[in-house]
Every structure is written in C-alpha cells, then in structure tokens.
Structure 1
C-alpha cells in the first residue's frame, strides 16, 4: 500500500487493486513535483474511487466530477451536504450511519463535529479511516456551553467507531494549529481510544513543525505518527 499527501486533507492510497482519493481541494504549484494527480485519475487498470467528506471548499472541488471524462470507470462517494445539479454515474450520496459496498470495499459513514461525514473503509485486510472535519474543535474563545457540546459530540462519534471492534491500520486526522493549545487534543484522544496502527496528520496548513511535535507526543502510545515534510509527497508508512 502506497500513500501520498497532496495538500490539506487530500491523500491518495494505492495498492495493486485500488486508487482511493480523499477530499481533493487543489494541487499546489511545485517545481518538479514527484506526484502527478493525472497519473492516478487515469489508471484504467485499477478501481479509482473518489471521496469527499463534506461541501467546504477546502474538502470538495467540483473539478473532481470532470475526472470521469478522462476515466469513465471512476466512482464517487460524496457526503449528502454536497449539492449537485447533476449527479454523475457511479456516484453514491451518503450520510452518517450509512453502510455501502463499492467495488469490493466495505464503507461505513460516521459523524463529523463540523460538516458532512467521516469514512471507515475495509480494504482487503486493512482498515482505513479518513476523519474529514471530525475533530475536537475546542477553540480558545469558546464558551463553557460550546466546550461541553463539542466534547460530548466528538466523544460520541469516537464511541460509535469503537463498536467496529476492528483495528484501524491507517487514520487520517486533523491536527489544526489554529486551535492553539488544543491542537493535539482530538488526535491524542483518537489514539487513546481507538489505538490505530498509524495516524497521519492533516488540515495543518504549512505548519510542518506542528506535525513533528504531534508525532513526538505519540511515542510510547503504540501508534506511529507519520511525519509529513511537504506537499505532493509519498509518505513512509
């Protein structure tokens, strides 16, 4: 299994059978990039499935719907808050609590503490989780009531995920430095409760130093934090 970081919350997972693309936003400009999105979109010998967790512009770009012009076999799994004038072929509109099977993948939709859904995917003998905007969004200026509501909402989703009783091998989870002293709160709770094999930070802008700090915090937890150094990068997992 190969994993590539594109930008923000967009990652690509590729194995011998599948190409999974999550929350495509944009391809940043970079001199001599090692990764070309086009190469993944047009892979006719693999099952290409594109996921968008919610409608926010930094997680959903309508450009993805045009990818079918290049590869008619692409499938989409889109959160129901994404409003489309025309629903393309091979497109599944999903909400929290849905379970679907696509191209041999078992996919479950869990909640979010912002918008849309998070994705739990059984891919052969591996389990992948992409959080979308599921996080413990504990802002410094929140009221006590807002803090309590967020805590309860986030912990409820984590409890729902726990009911799977299957270990998550790869988790993509927000580590957002705008939360200041609470930047690691959601990620550390996720690790504490779900014990994923690997966790890959996202939604961090260009704060790569925060990623290194977060990964260091996870030492001795049994979960490996994957360090990201730049966009359009193949990750060492």
Structure 2
C-alpha cells in the first residue's frame, strides 16, 4: 500500500493511507513550535481524518485539533480512556474512546472498535498514562506507542525497574502478535536505553519503524535510531517539522 508520513513534533505525526489521514498526539500550544498548526492544517485539508490521542498530557493532546482540522472533509476522534475527563472539549458525540484489557501486568489489548469505513482501532495499556494504539487501515497495520516505553532512568536497579522491564516485555509480545507494518515508538534521548527502541526493533520487527518522543529535536533521536540495524526493519527518521516521506508498506 502506498502511504505518506509527515513529521510534526515530538509524538505528533500524520499518516496518509487508503483514503484516511491519521493524526497522532497533536500537542497543546505551549508544546507546538511555530508552523506546526499550519503544517497540520495543510495535511488534513479535504481529507477524512482520524485524530488519535494516546493520553491527556499536554505534549500529546489538545482540543486545538478542532481548529487545525476545520478544513478536513471529516473528523473522527479516537481517544484514550483518560482524555474525555481531562480534556472535556474533546468529549464529543461520536468520539471513539478506547480501553485496554484488564491485565495490570500489561500486554492485554482491549476490543476492536470501528472508527469509520475501513478503519478500526484497539488499545494497549501504557506504563505512563493512557494507551498505545493498534490500528488497521484497510489491512495496513499501524502501531503508535504514545508513552508506552521502557522508562528506565539512571539509578538503582530496583523492583520498580524490574516491573518496568516485565511490563515492557509483555507489551512487546502483544505488539509483535499484532505485527504492525508501520510502528512509531519511543526513542527518548534522556534515557540511557532510549526507552527500549532497539529492543522494540528486535522483538517486533516492523518493516517501517519511526522513532519519536524527541521534544521537537528529531536529530536527537534520528542519529541513534538509524544506528539500530535489525534485518527486515527500515528505520524512518525525520529532520524537520513538515518533512513528508512517501513509501510503500503493508498489503
């Protein structure tokens, strides 16, 4: 399938495929660089859009999407379960609210939900807040991890770190079973292990892997990510806001 991905900021990307534009984690004004709103508005104009919010933190979620998407042909909202309460302006009729499965150890996806023609979504629990998304767009499987990552900070290797590793590994097993054609996952430059980016590549092996959680500095994650070499995995790094990459993946 032919598709295109546009980088906006941090965890915010647009993915165009099969008549849809998926917008992920459009951030609040305090986290948007100059030109971000305009870049997103251009990407959404005249399109059937699914705006997906993995959780309610301001660097991942903003009701300002309603302004940026005002020229979209259609707008569908796909929300983590925490968003309607924390960002009530997005709690609109017809919004699809996703819940993960009930296993507190992670790796338990919730049920599939229909979003619109040819598009369905389900969620995994994040180990920060909210969910990670698994989406199927006419057979193209897309994963966006939100803040699901190996949050292993420098310091003692204690029980909390062991829990984080176990949760992350169970989540990776679930994502690998989903077998995404395109995956967006954390490559946070603050973390010695980059949020488990290399481990994600090794276990999940998506044909296209996009690093994110860069705080608006894509070069801070791109250099590291391009050095992760796993057979069958093409790392797609971006350099600047608004950069658009066209590619073929999936069915």
Scaled by the length of structure 1, the TM-score of the pair is: 0.87
CA distance in 1, matches of 2:210, 2:4: 13
- Find the counterpart in structure 1 of residue 33 from structure 2: 28
**Superposed CA RMSD:** 2.2
CA distance in 2, matches of 1:40, 1:210: 23
CA distance in 1, matches of 2:156, 2:126: 18
Using the TM superposition, give the Cα deviation of residue 126 of structure 1 relative to its aligned residue in structure 2, in angstroms.
1.4
Using the TM superposition, give the Cα deviation of residue 79 of structure 1 relative to its aligned residue in structure 2, in angstroms.
0.7
Q: Is the 8 A contact 2:173 2:204 kept in 1?
A: no
What are the within-5 Å matches in structure 2 for residues 30-109 of structure 1? 30=35, 36-43=39-46, 46-66=47-67, 70-71=71-72, 73-82=74-83, 83=85, 84-85=87-88, 87-96=91-100, 97-103=110-116, 104-109=118-123
Q: Is the 8 A contact 2:8 2:39 kept in 1?
A: no
Using the TM superposition, give the Cα deviation of residue 4 of structure 1 relative to its aligned residue in structure 2, in angstroms.
0.1
- Say if 2:175 is the partner of 1:174: no
Query: 5+ unaligned residues in a row in structure 1: which ranges?
Result: none
- Find the counterpart in structure 2 of residue 214 from structure 1: 225
Q: Is the 8 A contact 2:211 2:221 kept in 1?
A: no
